[in-house]
Amino acid sequence: MATVSLEPIVHRTRRDSSTFRGRKQRQSASFLDFGKSNRRLCNGGRLFSFRPRAGVVRASSNGATAVVEADEIVDVCFKESYPLRRTDAVEGKIFIRLDSGKDEGAWQLTVGCSLPGKWILHWGVNYEEDVGSEWDQPPVEMRPPESVIVKDYAIETPLKKLSSVAKEGPLYELTVNVIPNSGIAAINFVLKDEETGAWYQHRGRDFKVPLVASAVEGSNIVGASKRFDIWAGPLGQLSNILQKTEVTDSTTEGGQSVDTKRRARQLEGFYEEHSIVKESYVDNSLTVSVRECPQTFKHLVQVETDYTGDVVVHWGVCRDDTRSWKLPEGPYPPNTTPFKKKALRTLLQPKEGGNGSSGLFTLNADVMGFIFVLKLNENTWFRCMGNDFFVPLPSSEKKPLQAKPDWSEGPKDTSSEATMPEPARFTDGIINEIRNLVTDIASEKIRQAKTKEAQESILQEIEKLAAEAYSIFRTSTPTLVEEDAVLESEADQTAKICSGTGTGYEIVCQGFNWESHKSGKWYLELKQKAAELSSLGFTVMWLPPPTESVSPEGYMPKDLYNLNSRYGTIDELKDLVKRLHEVGIKVLGDAVLNHRCAHFQNKNGVWNIFGGRLNWDDRAIVADDPHFQGRGNKSSGDCFHAAPNIDHSQDFVRKDIKEWMCWLRKEVGYDGWRLDFVRGFWGGYVKDYMDASEPYFAVGEYWDSLSYTYGAMDHNQDAHRQRIVDWINATGGTAGAFDVTTKGILHAALEKCEYWRLSDEKGKPPGVLGWWPSRAVTFIENHDTGSTQGHWRFPGGKEMQGYAYILTHPGTPAVFYDHIFSNYQSEIGKLISLRNRKKIHCRSVVKITKTERDVYAAIIDEKVAMKIGPGHYEPPNGPQKWNLSIEGRDYKVWETS
């Protein structure tokens, strides 16, 4: 049975804005952790709110089924709407055509798609002299307009919507001109739908269009048979790819014969169609309302939906706080049948006009809750946030229901509130309630004892509320409300704010680069530098992946419990961690949880059987991994193509991973985690792992492309940072994330002298640190983007401007190893020293004072002022006296005396 979770969309609910007092007072906060099943309510995140309304309910009898009939006016004490999102499969075609161009030897490859969507061609080329199957970027002159570079191996180009569409022809299309005599052996591509994030391949592999005979290998070839002879298209039209190979023998001056020269070729056009299935979202809604009959004290629960098919409500009642399903007393609605004496099933009745269905459920006054799930068919069930829908019912002892007092104290500008949209009013109410709760907690704690422990407890409550609040008030606005800065008086440098996010004063050092594995003694080399790194002011060290790996860098793990890697032995790793602890540095392990390389092949020759201590089979691999024939469930994230993608929805997988991470914490002494490729699986699983391993600090690598238009970076990157924030939120705030948005915007600002980019529309920093600074780990370079890989290298010669930005701003800054042990070391050390001296932390307040073409300037916590860019800036005169502290190429930093 496939269960559809409402988790990504349940926050967009409509609520009445008054309150209901249940049978018992809640002792915990009003904000819910959706990841835990023992929470009381499941209505999108807060206590149900009720408003008295007048109305008449005439619920008639049907046969032996009797329900309340009353002309009495009843109170509408609750009404809630839930979005129901389901997937619908639509079939279409991918069209591939190769035509000769105008010039001799020139060709045009055209790719089209017949389905609506935001289609992107992700493509690259192979050259004749290439060995292996790695892609290369095509020559610049081959790249169509609007193409965007993807690392160093591919291009992404959007398909254009056609103005006129032939019957059963493409709706979107893109043509790529192949350059004559360019030495290109093949063009490789996959089709990506940015609306859904789905990738479309050919027989589980990338599409490959061969241009020479040597490229005709594998089952993913299009446009040619393996003999490179005659090919007949699916439409019955004959299309040919011919290659005439000339073999010539030649001799060198010494009379030696040489291998065959490069083969000349003659190419003819072809046309192919490939069927694809796109799963699109279909949105419906569910509305639940509760009324009470004041004469009989019966609860009348109305359930209705706009879904036009059959809907069965699988339901029961609760008589206490345990949420245990119980069968209610009769009578029952029409078309109700019992299910194994544990629940009832009621088929909702069609509405007039056929625009949905509804049902009325009558419950006795002693019932405390109505609990249910929806069944559309045998394979599709709807639940709420992974739990059953649960509607708490009002007590019959308190009538009439009282409206809740206004959220905030003091007079209000009602005229402005009246024009405020509903989501904004609700969000403001939640924010005020958070503040009230925190004030109450703080007051209680301080009355008991004004101790550091009390302050730490208060701060921890603040963090948890902030994380939960975000998941609640994600409504129609694409951003979250910026978190309030924690004042310095509320936390000192030793206070632990929240598990997984450290104290707020961390400065991270990435303790390796892409080449560090080559010596085989990296742990020993780094151990010798521990004292130096500590003296520079680093408090956290990120170490490379520790496990046995197919790739020497460690990111293709195999046997997770084998810690003898190319960086050193397990004993050398433990000695390094011990030494770092001695000099006051916490240690992060690089945990690769998304994928794992197998030890054995299955009967089909696919590598999907694991060995070692965690001897999983193919059930541990997601079913939609195109390469490894997994038998698990579908992936909850993006696919990593090079290794089997692990199915974290499997109980045995999560159990084994949690045990492994706890073993690493105990055996090696890791204090926390850097989590690799977290785009590949749901952040809720990360929360599970963080709760089990209880790290001091954790950060995830959520790296995807920023927004571009015609090859130029958009100013507004809210969608990009929203995706990162959504992942952090899915973890329950138990882990931060690398602020890829800030890195990308710094690239554009510094490369093109466009420093105005460093402020968003609200005058805040435009990256994740502008929205959720305590979870933003800022950086300018790492082993992927810099080092010898250079996939996304920071603008050359401007690295210190980047460090002047991240080391003076909120968030948790991370510094790359290559920059520490370079000519930048002295300047970086000065910036770290100033950050520590002025107690800048992850929630420090930024006031942006200047954003122009050639200069960006800001004041942080009224204690530090900075500017980057060639333009002029001096901090304003005022009560503070500013002293120039650090100066370098196109940057300056001042501090108050």
What sign results for the dihedral spanned by CA atoms 846, 477, 34, 46?
positive
Q: What is the pLDDT of residues 70-106, one digit of tens each?
A: 344 456 788 888 888 777 778 889 999 998 877 776 8
* Residue 439 pLDDT greater than 60, yes or no: no
Q: What is the pLDDT of residues 153-198, one digit of tens each?
A: 889 999 999 988 777 788 999 999 988 888 888 899 999 888 777 7
Which helix (DSSP H) or strand (DSSP E) does residue 895 occupy?
strand 891-896
pTM for the predicted model, two decimal places: 0.52
Question: Is the model more confident about 891 or about 789?
Answer: 891
How does strand 736-738 pair with strand 697-700? parallel
For residue 275, how many other CB atoms are within 10 A of its CB? 10
The pLDDT of 750-762, averaged and rounded, is 95
The CATH architecture of the domain made up of 88-223+267-276 is Sandwich (2.60)
Active site residue 625: no
Mean pLDDT of the chain: 78
Q: At what angle do helices 799-806 and 825-837 cross, to 10 degrees?
A: 10
CA distances from 31 to 46, 436, 469, 562 (A): 5, 13, 7, 42
Q: Considering only 379-388, 424-433, 472-481, which range has the smallest mean pLDDT?
A: 472-481
pLDDT on residue 662: 96
Q: CA Rg, the chain, in Å?
A: 31
Question: Is the model more confident about 295 or about 91?
Answer: 91
First-last CA distance in the chain: 67
Q: Which of 388, 688, 701, 890 is catalytic?
A: 701
Instruction: Give the pLDDT band (50/70/90) at residue 21.
Output: very low
pLDDT on residue 512: 96
- Name the range with the highest mean pLDDT among 72-86, 231-245, 278-292, 848-862: 848-862
Question: Is the model more confident about 468 or about 694?
Answer: 694
CA distances from 796 to 54, 510, 645, 801, 877 (A): 69, 20, 35, 11, 34
pLDDT on residue 776: 96
Q: Is 658 exposed, middle or buried (0-12, 13-18, 19+ CB in 10 A)?
A: middle
Q: Which of 206, 676, 827, 861 is catalytic?
A: 676
Instruction: Give the pLDDT band (50/70/90) at residue 463.
Output: low
CA distances from 476 to 14, 85, 426, 796 (A): 11, 16, 11, 40
> In whole angstroms, what is the distance from residue 299 CA to residue 365 CA?
7
Token digits of residue 440? 């109450």
The pLDDT of 273-288, averaged and rounded, is 84
Query: How big is the CA angle at 681 (ends 678 and 684), to the nearest 5 degrees?
Result: 95
> In whole angstroms, what is the distance from residue 255 CA to residue 735 CA?
68
Torsion region of 715: left, alpha or beta (phi above 0 gives left; psi -120 to 50 gives alpha) = alpha
> In whole angstroms, what is the distance from residue 806 CA to residue 800 CA?
10
* Residue 283 pLDDT greater than 50, yes or no: yes
pLDDT on residue 795: 95
Place of tokens 């290109």: 184
* Residue 742 pLDDT greater than 90, yes or no: yes
Active site residue 136: no
Q: Is 891 exposed, middle or buried (0-12, 13-18, 19+ CB in 10 A)?
A: buried
**Under 8 Å between Cβ of 647 and 619:** yes
DSSP one-letter code for 560: T
Instruction: Give the pLDDT band (50/70/90) at residue 348.
Output: very high
Nearest to 664 by CA among 752, 590, 734: 590
Instruction: Give the pLDDT band (50/70/90) at residue 410.
Output: very low
Place of tokens 């005396």: 897
pLDDT on residue 30: 29
pLDDT on residue 429: 46
DSSP one-letter code for 618: G
Instruction: Give the pLDDT band (50/70/90) at residue 633.
Output: very high
pLDDT on residue 35: 36
Domain ranges of the chain: 88-223+267-276, 296-392
For residue 544, how many other CB atoms are within 10 A of its CB? 27
pLDDT on residue 257: 40
The pLDDT of 665-687, averaged and rounded, is 95
* Residue 227 pLDDT greater than 70, yes or no: no
Nearest to 9 by CA among 533, 434, 383: 383
pLDDT on residue 552: 94
What DSSP assignment string belongs to 260-274? PPPPP-----EEEEE
Q: What is the pLDDT of residues 117-132, one digit of tens each?
A: 899 999 999 888 776 6
Token digits of residue 393? 């019912």
* Residue 483 pLDDT greater than 50, yes or no: no
For residue 868, how many other CB atoms are within 10 A of its CB? 30
> In whole angstroms, what is the distance from residue 182 CA to residue 223 CA?
20
Q: Is 286 exposed, middle or buried (0-12, 13-18, 19+ CB in 10 A)?
A: buried
Q: Considering only 239-253, 321-335, 802-816, which range has the smallest mean pLDDT?
A: 239-253
Token digits of residue 442? 């703080």
CB contact set of 765 (below 8 Å; sequence gap of 6+): 742, 758, 759, 809, 810, 846, 848
> In whole angstroms, what is the distance from residue 32 CA to residue 39 CA?
7
Task: Say what percent of the chain tops pLDDT 70.
Answer: 73
In degrees rounded to 5, what are phi and psi of residue 721? -70, -25
DSSP one-letter code for 326: B
pLDDT on residue 84: 83
How does strand 882-888 pair with strand 891-896? antiparallel
pLDDT on residue 878: 81
Q: At what angle do helices 422-448 and 452-472 cross, to 10 degrees?
A: 170
For residue 756, how many other CB atoms are within 10 A of its CB? 15
Q: What is the pLDDT of residues 601-632, one digit of tens each?
A: 999 999 999 999 999 999 999 999 888 999 99
> In whole angstroms, what is the distance from residue 107 CA to residue 88 CA?
38
Q: Answer whether the bond into residue 400 is a cis peptide, omega within 30°.
A: yes
CA distances from 771 to 426, 733, 748, 812 (A): 19, 13, 20, 14
CB contact set of 450 (below 8 Å; sequence gap of 6+): none
Q: Is 103 exposed, middle or buried (0-12, 13-18, 19+ CB in 10 A)?
A: exposed
Instruction: Give the pLDDT band (50/70/90) at residue 224.
Output: low
Instruction: Give the pLDDT band (50/70/90) at residue 297.
Output: confident
* Residue 485 pLDDT greater than 50, yes or no: no
Q: Considering only 137-141, 260-264, 740-744, 844-848, which range has the smallest mean pLDDT?
A: 260-264
DSSP one-letter code for 661: H
pLDDT on residue 117: 87
How does strand 238-240 pair with strand 198-200? unpaired
Question: Is the model more confident about 6 or about 699?
Answer: 699
The pLDDT of 488-508, averaged and rounded, is 62
